[in-house]
Amino acid sequence: MKLLVTNIAFLAGIQPTDKLRLEGKEMARLETIANAFLYVEDGRIHSYGAMSDLAKCSLPSDVQQIDAKGGSVLPSWCDSHTHIVFAGSREQEFVDKIRGLSYAEIAKRGGGILNSADKLHDMSEDELYQQAMRRVDEVIRKGTGCIEIKSGYGLNTADELKMLRVIKRIKETTPLKVVATFLGAHAVSREYAGRQSEYVDLVIREMIPAVAKENLAEYIDVFCDTGFFTPEETARILEAGTKYGMRGKIHADELASSGGVEVGVRHNALSVDHLESMTAETIETLRGSETMPTALPGTSFFLNMPFALGRKVIDEGLPLAVASDYNPGSTPSGDMKFVISLACIKMRLLPAEAINAGTMNSAYAMGLSKDYGSITKGKVANFYITKPIPSVDFIPYAYTTPIIDRIFLRGEEYIPQTV
């Protein structure tokens, strides 16, 4: 299929082909072309430029032409941390939080992750898939084109595999680019209460080989934090996953500065995520590594927690990604536009920095930035056309205003539908 988009007010998010991530001052640069066109061929970006140069381009006669009508074009959001395969909501815990209970207190009372695990155990793969696909449609409508989905609400081998099979089915039936992460070490199951070391052995000796046998996950994750898994246990799990080709992506420093970032860097984790309790010393640990620090500002907003030190991370010359953490307990939202607004308002990122964090760098945090996350020749044509807006800065500024007019994934228009 050949597609030409014309009369684009601003074509934004342009990056050279050799860039995989942006660091420090680079993050404040969001290259744009005013009054532009974009040409797509076979699902990938072929060329782009100013409308004044379009006449010089030799385009085939069978090209489909779309008039942006003065809207702008940006690369689709890349959401590198979600848990969108889950069974039902947890609004009662929302009420508990309003009444003053902490995340840790709710977990100790049998809520939180264990609550979701109980619900998921009783739900079939088909039911899980139908629920998840409604959320997939929701996030695509909001501009997301790439997403990472974690397991972690199974907490036994059969239910973790059930979740990962659902994620595989989503990969096969949606134009969204999906990567899967095995998170068996999200919490200790009720069956293993008081026997955490035995549960870690179960993850290593039974779950990881079973996941690998069916080739169900590209990555492995561990909730390395106070009250969950220790750095030593995390290291064991990451090492076991690496043997089966699953690279690490760690839940780190959400509830405390727990050593999760340090163990992630030592084991070459692709990303360390959350970072609400990150310290200046932790930031220094990341210097020179391939690990992407990933903030989840929606979690801080919903749980009324501190926000990650995103401004300091960038000022120290490091990269930063942002993601939604869409899940039923701590962040029941996959709205990346709102995440970008929070990054600006609460973490003091400039609009360009926040947009780059939610596109290029979040794609890197999924190992996808070679093909996604920017307007670059040869990359997959995942983008959206906005309604006419005064500038790119308007996107995080107007934090609840719907801006998307049309969505294109793999170079084809996405027609919203509810499964």
Which CATH number characterizes residue 130's domain?
A: 3.20.20.140
Flag whether 267 is marked binding.
no
The number of distinct structural domains making up the chain is 2
Residues 287 and 157 in one domain: yes
Flag whether 199 is marked binding.
no
Block residue for tokens 């046998």 = 213
The reported pLDDT for the residue numbered 186 is: 97
Q: Which residues contact 98 (CB under 8 A, 6 or more apart)?
A: none
Residues 197 and 279 in one domain: yes
In a domain, 419, yes or no: no
Block residue for tokens 């920017």 = 374
Residues 183 and 245 in one domain: yes
Q: What is d(CA 364, CA 373) in angstroms, rounded to the nearest whole number?
A: 8
In a domain, 132, yes or no: yes
Flag whether 169 is marked binding.
no
Flag whether 327 is marked binding.
yes
Residues 84 and 177 in one domain: yes
Flag whether 81 is marked binding.
yes
Two tokens, residue 158: 């059969």
In a domain, 39, yes or no: yes
Residues 216 and 276 in one domain: yes
Query: 135 is in which domain, residue-wise?
Result: 77-366
Flag whether 153 is marked binding.
yes
The reported pLDDT for the residue numbered 419 is: 46
Flag whether 121 is marked binding.
no
- Mark the ranges of the chain whose per-residue pLDDT is less than 50: 419
The reported pLDDT for the residue numbered 92 is: 86
The reported pLDDT for the residue numbered 17 is: 84
In a domain, 418, yes or no: no
Residues 278 and 394 in one domain: no
Q: Are strands 404-409 and 412-413 parallel, antiparallel or unpaired?
A: antiparallel
Residues 148 and 164 in one domain: yes
Can you give the pTM of this predicted structure? Answer: 0.96
Two tokens, residue 27: 């993050």
Check which CATH number belongs to the domain holding 409 and give it: 2.30.40.10
Q: Are strands 383-386 and 404-409 parallel, antiparallel or unpaired?
A: antiparallel
Residues 64 and 184 in one domain: no
In a domain, 38, yes or no: yes
CA-closest candidate to residue 38, choices 415, 413, 411, 337: 411
Helix axes 113-121, 157-173, angle to 10 degrees: 80
Flag whether 287 is marked binding.
no
User: Which uninterrupted H or E stretch holds 16?
Assistant: none
Flag whether 41 is marked binding.
no
The reported pLDDT for the residue numbered 416 is: 78
Residues 125 and 66 in one domain: no
Flag whether 244 is marked binding.
no
